[in-house]
Structure 1
Amino acid sequence: MRRVTNCILKQNNHILMLKKPRRGWYAMPGGKMESGESVKQAVVREYKEETGLELVEPKLRGTFTFIIKENEAMKQEWMMFTFLCEQSNGELVEFCNEGELEWVPLGEVLDKPMAEGDRFIYKSILTYDDLIDGTFTYTDDYQLIESNLNPSSN
């Protein structure tokens, strides 16, 4: 099972988002954990590698399981640990290997094209103060089949 971390960085009523080139979908900067890393170490390292920014006191806000199915059979499964942070140090890089970085006004975040699971995650983490957990099941072409969030984002 893959383990990944990412972070929603909220500053000045904007969220730093990463537009991935493959589908043009927006996502939270982050990436794969390395062997022996804590989730917090991983998110700080990955965020800095992708953005140039060092997160200051990121808080774990969500733990999620993602399942990819092909013809009803599980093809992939991974865990994602999502943090929220409201302060960073450093300067944003001019170029990111993973895609295009963009400060998006808070009110426009949910209007951006993204995976439906990510939309639920943004909405939930930006709405609730509690730790959120959930499971998202997708087809192999990333169409959301089912989601289960606690607390519910409805």
Structure 2
Amino acid sequence: MFRNLIFDWSGTLVDDLPPVLDATNQVLGVYGVPPMDRETFRLRFRLPYREFYEEMLPGVPLEELEVHFRKAFSGSSEPVTVLPHAREKLAWCQAQGIRCFVLTSMDSDAFRGQLEDFGLAGYFEATYSGVLDKREVILEILDRHRLAPGETAFVGDMTHDVETAHHAQLTSVAVLTGYTHAGALALARPHLTVQDLDGLRRLMERPTGKARPVATVGALIENDEGQVLMVRTHKWGHRWGIPGGKIERGENAAAALVREVREETGLEIAEPVFVMVQDCIDSDEFERREHFLLLNYLARKTSGEVCLNDEAQEFRWLTPEEALKLDLNQPTRLLIEEVLEGGTP
């Protein structure tokens, strides 16, 4: 899929959020600002970090803040660890001949120390650190290393990483392991979103042999007010759709539908009515090229409140007519239109 990968560092390859949060709170404390907890920090922190500090500590020179931060970060007792699947992903890239680079805003001395301590230096052709605004450097990297934009992806965990990829006309790959929540990342419109780097590896692996179609179930779920449940997910390019998933071996379609809806939404359903089957072959909307057989149902919510798992980022209860005004994936649009036209028994 890609011949070149440019990685962010913090939150993408290593988990340094604990000492970063600790150091940030120490900096805020110098100026009498209360500390933040982890989730508040994830919601507010952004790059370029000069914008974050201008919001938190307006008027304080960035150079002054950097002195406090470097001292606090180097003295923090909070651990930094390599994220799960990161080392395996880099080894896989090396075995596949994929060229790898790092572009990070992290302080250069701290970055080089982590790079050596974790034994990751040998995986990268070149690294670029201490870059406050990555958009100012990304084009230089492409030119210096003769990287074709169409063969290159930028992999990161923050909206600034997605914006940097868009700026250079690269494929943007958002990972959900770091500093930014899935919902905020979705607003930046990455081309691909993966749970972690193992998901990216699996996405990039070339299938061997002739892959068979994958049978799935999904339901347009109605509540007592005649509204239907729409969920937005990164798997479908941040478009809206319906809950559903794969049928497991030995499981009938009706049981799979109940299970998938429960796992993805926390809802219990009843009275599923089969509506239609759709072929979905290598859709540009889906996160990878795949042939799905979509078994679509209409079902009624019986109990529970919507509690999304990590496959979806947002939900809405809407009338079918209102739902058609959303940015829907095409199979969901066809399903709703079929239901509105009376295409159910």
Which category describes the TM-score, using the shorter chain as reference length? 0.7 to 0.9
Q: Displacement, 1:120?
A: 1.5
Bigger radius of gyration, 1 or 2? 2
Equivalent of 1:8, from 220, 226, 233? Answer: 220
Aligned residue number for residue 248 of structure 2: 34
Question: Aligned pair in 2 of structure 1 residues 113, 90: CA closer, same or farther (>3 Å)?
Answer: same
Q: Which is richer in strand? A: 1
What is the aligned length? 126
Partner residue, 1:134: none
Contact 1:30–1:47 under 8 Å retained in 2:
yes
Following superposition, the deviation at residue 90 of structure 1 comes to 2.0
Q: CA deviation at 1:68?
A: 1.8
Give the one of 58, 72, 97 matched to 2:310.
97
Runs of 4+ in 1 over 6 A off after TM superposition: none
Question: In structure 1, the residue corresponding to 2:250 is in which secondary structure?
Answer: coil
Sequence identity percentage: 25
Higher relative contact order (CA 8 A, sep 6+): 1
Aligned Cα root-mean-square deviation (Å): 2.0
**Separation of aligned partners in 2, 1:80 and 1:50:** 17
Counterpart code for 2:230:
M
Q: Identify if the C-alpha distance between structure 1 residues 69 and 117 changes in structure 2 by more than 3 Å, giving closer, same or farther.
A: closer
Q: Secondary structure at the match of 1:92?
A: coil
Alpha-carbon shift at residue 127 of structure 1 (Å): 2.1
> Does 1:82 find its partner at 2:296?
yes
TM-score (normalised: structure 1): 0.73
Per the alignment, residue 54 of structure 1 pairs with 268
Which amino acid counterpart does residue 219 of structure 2 have in structure 1? C
The CA distance in 2 between the partners of 1:69 and 1:96, in whole Å, is 24
Higher normalized helix content (fraction of residues): 2
For residue 69 of structure 1, report the CA deviation from its aligned partner.
Answer: 7.4
Does the CA-based 8 Å contact 2:267-2:301 persist in structure 1?
Answer: no
Q: Where do 5+ consecutive residues of structure 2 fail to align?
A: 1-212
In the alignment, what sits opposite 2:117?
none
TM-score normalized with structure 2 length: 0.34
- CA change 1:130–1:91 in 2 (3 A) is closer
Distance 1:89 1:37, change over 3 A: same
Counterpart CA distance in 1 for 2:336 and 2:344 is 13
Q: Contact between 2:274 and 2:344, CA under 8 Å: does it hold in 1?
A: no
What is the CA distance between 1:121 and its match in structure 2?
1.6
Residue of structure 2 equivalent to 1:123: 337
Where structure 1 has 5 or more consecutive residues not aligned to the other structure, the ranges are 132-154
Q: Distance in 2 between matches of 1:98 and 1:52?
A: 13
Provide the secondary structure at the position in 1 that maps to 2:298.
Answer: strand
**Alpha carbons of 1:81 and 1:17: their partners in 2 closer, same or farther (altered >3 Å)?**
same
Question: How far apart are the structure 2 equivalents of 1:89 and 1:126?
Answer: 24
Q: Of residues 233, 236, 257 in structure 2, which corresponds to 1:43?
A: 257
Given that residues 54 and 89 in structure 1 are in contact (C-alpha distance below 8 angstroms), is that contact kept between their aligned partners in structure 2?
yes
Tell me, yes or no, if structure 1 residue 18 matches structure 2 residue 231.
Answer: yes
CA distance in 2, matches of 1:52, 1:87: 11
Contact 1:62 1:125 in 2 (8 A): no
SS at match of 1:45: helix
Residues 128/19 of structure 1: CA separation in 2 closer, same or farther (3 Å cut)? same
Deviations 1:50-83 (A, max 9, x none): 111111121111111111279xxxx632211111
